[in-house]
Amino acid sequence: MRKNILITGASSGLGRGMALEFARKGHNLALCARREEHLISLKQECHAIDRTLKISIRTLDVNNHDDVFETFRAFTSDFTSLDRIIVNAGMGKGASIGTGHFAANKQTATTNFIAALAQCEAALEIFRKQNHGHLVTISSISGLRGFRRALTVYAASKAALSSLSEGIRIDVMDTPIKVTTVHPGFIRSAINEKVKSAPFMVDTQTGCKALVKAINKEPANAFVPMWPWAMVRYVLRVAPLSWLARMS
C-alpha cells in the first residue's frame, strides 16, 4: 500500500476530491495548493473521516519553481517516505489562438507543463534517493488530439505532459519507481464549472472515486471513468476534425 501520498492543487476540484477519497482508504496525506484556508478546511474534513491519519499541509504556487522543490523536500521531513506523488495542479484558461488572449494561453501552458515539469523533477529527486515511489500525472482525454477555442492550449499542454510522463516511465523502467498517466474525461470541477454541457460528464465525487481506483492499480495509462473513455480514446485517435469541433 502506498501509505503516504502527496497531492498538488489539493485545495479544490479533483485534487480535493482525490484527497478525501484517499483519506477514506486510510492514506496519510501531504497536501499543497495556493489557498491556505481551503487546505485547512480540507485537513479538517480528512480528520473527520479518520482522526488517526497524518495530514500535512503547505501553501504552494507551482509556478514558483524553486518553491516546488523546497515544499516537496519539506514534506519528506513529515513522513518516513513519500510513496506516491500526484502532479495534479493545473488550469484551463485560454481562447482561440490569435484572438488577443496570449497571456491566458501562456499561463495555461506554463502551469500545465513547465510547472508540471518542476513537480516531476522534484518528485523523481525524492524517489531516486529513496529508491521507490509512484509518480502520477493528471493529463486529460483532450491531450489525445487537438481541440479548438479554449481547449487549444489546454489540450496541447496535456499532450506534452503525457509525453513527458512516458519519457520518465522509460527512464525508470525496471526500477522500483512506477509512473502512471491518468487521462480524465469530463469530470465536473472548478476548471470546467462554466461549461454548460459536455459528453459523458460526471460529477466530482463519481469522477474522483474512479480516479483513485485507477491510480491504485498503477497502470502505465488510465482513462477515467473507464466507461466510456477507455473506448472513446480509440475513436478520438481517428475522428475527423469536424467531429472534434463538435466536442469543444
Residue 194 makes CB contacts below 8 A (sequence gap 6+) with: none
CA 232 to chain centre: 20
Measured in residues, the chain has a length of 248
- 154 labelled catalytic: yes
One-letter amino acid for residue 103 of the chain: A
Set of cell numbers at residue 70: 523546497
Residue 44: Cβ-neighbour burial (10 angstroms; 0-12, 13-18, 19+): exposed
List Cα–Cα distances, 177 to 57, 61, 63, 132, in angstroms: 24, 26, 25, 5
- DSSP annotation of 100 reads S
Q: Which of 154, 186, 223, 229 is catalytic?
A: 154
Catalytic site positions? 154
